[in-house]
Structure 1
């Protein structure tokens, strides 16, 4: 991310403890290529505390899926992996009758913001996370 000019995740985040917790809670997903992990994401149906307050407004207050910590490694870049992950999150969400997805990203994470635009996510406002503000997005699936 630093090479792409983003300030997001420049303090060692996501921490090993965070990833272990993702796995323990069953929210961690990976994409593999030739038995090598090339991408990681959290797809959670648990309410996100940092989404309770927003400078702006969410599209609705229905139950939602959260996408966090999406990272595509160098071997996965340029292969549409991020779009594939977003599609999978939608399928997983709809399978359990949740028809809304929320996600946030740093103001300078232009790659993620491009993906969100391409996947028709609506900009909803600004939220506060542990290390600063993030732009928040939502998509209704019905």
Structure 2
């Protein structure tokens, strides 16, 4: 009967893909006039219509209050115009308690606006945060390893 329980738990855990947690990620950069970026989840879906706030680090009058706030668009992009200088911390609060923080990267202002370099940086950032199949298989391997260790210890205890 115990074997049936373990098999049932194993089968249910393998088919519960909708319950896999996802993280909220943030890409932000500052060019002197505005903070731009994109918010997305670990499955690369955009964090649409999500509130974004920017805080000035170091020289702000009140570090508790944001200097500018806004919302992401339907594709997760945002633009926050700023009038002060300095490093900025960008915070995004998503639904269900998701939250991401990042210090905006300072980049040189380009005459063309959004250049190929900025797009490349965003693509690299997204690839770094993506969940790959080997990550999932590695996690399943850890679970099986812990289960095997538990079974080994239990078998030793029953032998004695």
TM-score under structure 2 length normalisation: 0.25
Structure holding more strand per residue: 1
Q: Which has the larger radius of gyration?
A: 2
Bigger helix fraction: 2
Q: TM-score, normalised by structure 1?
A: 0.27
